[in-house]
Amino acid sequence: MYIEILGIITILMALRAIITQNRAEKLLYINVIGFSVPAIIALYINTPFALIVAAAFFITSTVSANAIAYTLDKLDNEIVLDGE
């Protein structure tokens, strides 16, 4: 049951990431996908190795989430020069 719910959430976030034009929103949707994939892995495969794979995936997702937060912070201070 949990796997199906996470799968639906992942698919919806993937569709929203494809549809949206806003870069900040797109990064947040990708972040949700990055956290839901290790949860699906850990729930689907009930072995100790799956737990290790899911933990590694979760750690890398956390690092990417920090990179997303850093990028979003830098977008607020970005200066755009128009060629006009």
Taking Cα atoms as reference points, which of 35, 36, 51 lies closest to residue 4?
36
Taking Cα atoms as reference points, which of 5, 1, 47 lies closest to residue 55?
47
Q: What is the 8-class DSSP label of residue 77?
A: T
Q: What does the pLDDT look like over 34-69, one tens digit per residue?
A: 888 888 888 888 888 888 888 888 888 788 778 877
- Please answer whether residues 39 and 6 qualify as being in contact, where contact means their C-beta atoms are separated by less than 8 angstroms: yes
Highest averaged pLDDT of the listed ranges 15-19, 31-35, 64-68, 71-75: 15-19
For the chain, what percentages of helix, strand and coil (3-state, to nearest 5) are there? 80, 0, 20
For the chain, the structural domain boundaries read 2-76
